[in-house]
Amino acid sequence: MVTRSDSLWKSLDWVTICIYLLLIIGGWFSVCGASYDYGDRDFLDFSTRAGKQFVWIICSFGLGFVLLMLEDRMYDMFAYIIYIGMILLLIVTIFIAPDTKGSRSWLVMGPVSLQPAEFAKFATALALAKYMNAYSFSIKKEKCALVLGLIILLPMLLIIGQRETGSALVYLAFFLVLYREGMPGVVLFAGVCAVIYFVVGIRFDEVFIADTPTPLGEFIVLLLILLFAGGMVWVYRKKWVAARNIIGGSLGILLIAYLISEYWVHFSLVWVQWGLCAVAIGYLIYLALSERQRAYFLIALFTIGSIGFLYSSNYVFDSVLEPHQQVRIKVVLGLEEDLTGAGYNVNQSKIAIGSGGLTGKGFLNGTQTKLKYVPEQDTDFIFCTVGEEQGFVGSAAVLIAFLVLIFRLIFLSERQPSTFGRVYGYSVLSIFLFHLFINIGMVLGLTPVIGIPLPFFSYGGSSLWGFTILLFTFLRIDAGRSRRL
């Protein structure tokens, strides 16, 4: 006779569990290396970082076991209750959490501190999966799209209210899930464009074209807006004449304006681009009315929104972002070097990784790590410890393990018989992917330092528990698929 428990253990994806164990073990040894002081080899001393992390790991194993023992239908049944509970906890955290390094995101309960933002990812993933699993749901309905946006943005805004911008940005990963579930590609394209506009506009804001008073950043972004508008006309309407009029006309007029500005009367080409954008918007509205095609009107809205974003991004950068966040972005964009300030962490991290060479200096032998040159080296910058002690080989092994986990999550998500399981699986995948990309990127100086942990490696119980809950809940949902088939 096969019991329910036997059936569960046979249905579990043990490949993913083995990867999880490997990553957690590797993470613990990395924390040992990052927090180790010469002469102190008692890694199980609970007063040390390594000892505390060991306790968190044991608790994570117990937490994972409890999640697997629960009935998989409970996650669907209580998804909204869990989400509402986490939203209320995020609100309460803003008012009762102590100020910790400028943020109010940690709840202190005696010797234990927990960050609700880490657990809110799990609640948001459940709520998304629950809503998108409804019979009447269609991502193409405006009402459904608005509800999805609210589910994602509400915890994100509350976390920003806690002054934890880095943790809030993680919630943007959920839009990858929406794209998988049929969200129009133009929405994702708009997001990519926003990043391009922001980076180019800020990076070249004080650079001018030749001898003209034309700011290069503003010029490039406005030119891209015109090119994108013409390109979208061709992609979505297949109207070559209209696309040619927008792109060809804009380029021709700008060339003439440049020659006049260079050799006759100096003026900013941006003025000409404003006029071209106005004409392009009017032309698109005319096409929308004459051909009665909504696509032209939406392209016109995209153009207007792009211009608005360009000129609001400077305000956001100067007035919304904190000074230290502005400096971090400037360091990444090459506007400032600041090797003794905001760029110090990244510079020391790259030195530590580079000094590891091919095979590394060996466990507990990293000089950059032992001498505490890298701040936050056992949390946000834990990967530099891997690079220094295990070298390129060890770093590559860690990245390969994460890559295998990512592909395994894709496989598990695609085999789900229900929308709930698939959406939740891709939510877990997207969160892991975002954390991995941003954390490794900031350690290597490729992305701004926004302070998000490396899954299973960074020291801390909140992040470890948060990732464990995300993963083991999905494993339980996947194990229950055989009953639903």
pLDDT digits (tens, 9 = 90+) for 139-161: 888 888 899 999 999 999 999 88
- Taking all residues of the chain, what is their mean pLDDT, rounded to a whole number? 85
Whether pLDDT at 134 is above 90: no
Residue 340: pLDDT over 70: no
- Of 177-186, 250-259, 275-284, which range is least confident? 177-186
Q: What percent of the chain has pLDDT over 70?
A: 90
Q: What is the pTM of this model?
A: 0.83
Lowest-confidence pick of 321-335, 357-371, 381-395, 436-450: 321-335
> Please, which pLDDT band fits residue 1 given cuts at 50, 70 and 90?
very low
| Mean pLDDT, range 363-371, rounded to an integer | 74
pLDDT score of 326 more than 50 = yes
Q: How confident is the model at residue 130 (pLDDT cuts 50, 70, 90)?
A: very high
In three state form, how does the secondary structure of the chain look? Answer: CCCHHHHHHHHCCHHHHHHHHHHHHHHHHHHHHHHCCCCCCCCCCCCCHHHHHHHHHHHHHHHHHHHHHCCCHHHHHCHHHHHHHHHHHHHHHHHHCCCECCECCCEEECCEEECHHHHHHHHHHHHHHHHHCCCCCCCCCHHHHHHHHHHHHHHHHHHHHCCCHHHHHHHHHHHHHHHHCCCCHHHHHHHHHHHHHHHHHHHCCCCECCCCCCEHHHHHHHHHHHHHHHHHHHHHHCCHHHHHHHHHHHHHHHHHHHHHHHHCCCCCHHHHHHHHHHHHHHHHHHHHHHHCCHHHHHHHHHHHHHHHHHHHHHHHHHHHCCHHHHHHHHHHCCCCCCCCCCCHHHHHHHHHHHHCCCCCCCCCCCHHHHCCCCCCCCCCCHHHHHHHHHHHHHHHHHHHHHHHHHHHHHHHHHCCCCHHHHHHHHHHHHHHHHHHHHHHHHHCCCCCCCCCCCCCCCCCHHHHHHHHHHHHHHHHHHHCHHHHC
Across 88-116, average pLDDT: 83
Span 407-434, average pLDDT:
94
